[in-house]
Amino acid sequence: MEMQIDGTIIALALGDITLEETDAIVNAANSGLRGGGGVDGAIHRAGGGSIMEECRKIGFCPTGQAVVTGGGNLKARYVIHAVGPIYRGGGRGEADLLKSAYRESLKRATEKGLRSISFPAISAGVYGYPLDEAAHIALMTVIDYVKEHREIDLARFVLFSRDVYDVFSSEMKKLMCCGRS
Ligand code: AR6
């Protein structure tokens, strides 16, 4: 499923983000950039040791921020390591931090002059963010950004399971039919 915002395609795909051929893929990392399970583990396994070497040099990334490394053995030239919030009920600024993680990732892409980027569902796994809210924030933040930054041609959400894909597609349908809510 996809939608178009001015010149940018925003697409949803079911699959493994490590196989993406966009200029950058985004990792759902932790602040210590130490690697871990989920999509983080998959990206480091597929990309090889050079990504972790660069992460060690960078050392730390605050929640809501994003840092860039090369893509190692991946097809994507860059990995943008974004740190989403751990969900603790919603009263601790989680929505703003999740929005910031997407926005900062897009800013890193713009700074590098990239035209295409793939995202996983940041914070929606181990970090426990309710999926419908996470999908809404993800889509709204990317839509708002590409309206201001026409240089991004393609933003893909690469979702690992059918249930996550279905929630993103129902949020996208709502946004296409009724605008922002
Ligand atoms: N491609 C795309 N999406 C994936 C893949 C993949 N190969 N593998 C998992 N997902 P999570 P978080 C989905 O837990 O919630 C790590 O240990 C997964 O199904 O990876 O932000 C880090 O080091 C889910 O929908 O990230 C942090 O400590 C989504 O990616 C912590 O987990 C995000 O799930 C970050 O937790």
Per-residue pLDDT of the chain (181 residues; tens, 9 = 90+): 999 999 999 999 999 999 999 999 999 999 999 999 999 999 999 999 999 999 999 999 999 999 999 999 999 999 999 999 999 999 999 999 999 999 999 999 999 999 999 999 999 999 999 999 999 999 999 999 999 999 999 999 999 999 999 999 999 999 988 765 4
Of the candidates 6, 16, 23, 40, the residue annotated as catalytic is 40
CB proximity list for 93: less than 8 A, separation 6 or greater: 85
Q: Which two tokens stand for residue 174?
A: 């709502």
Q: How far apart are CA 56 and CA 32, in angstroms?
A: 9
CA-42 nearest atom, ligand 1: 7
Per-residue b or e along 82-100, where b marks 16 or more CB atoms closer than 10 Å to that residue's CB: bbbbebeeeeeebbebbbb
d(CA 73, CA 57): 19
Question: What is the per-residue pLDDT for 178?
Answer: 73
Mapped onto helix, strand or coil, the DSSP state of residue 178 is helix
Q: For residue 27, report the distance from its CA to the centre of ligand 1, in Å.
A: 8
Predicted local distance difference test score (pLDDT) of residue 179: 60
Pairing of β 2-5 and β 66-70: unpaired
CA 136 – CA 169 distance, rounded (Å) = 10
Active-site residue flag, 153: no
What pLDDT was estimated at residue 181?
47
Pocket test for ligand 1, best of 79, 122, 160, 163 (most atoms within 8 A of CB): 160
Full DSSP string of 69-87: EE-TTSSSSEEEEEEPPPP
Ligand 1, atom 34, residue with closest C-alpha: 125
User: Is the Cβ atom of 160 under 6 angstroms away from ligand 1?
Assistant: yes
| Contact yes or no for 87/35 (Cβ under 8 A) | no
Among residues 8, 13, 37, the alpha carbon closest in space to that of 25 is found at 13
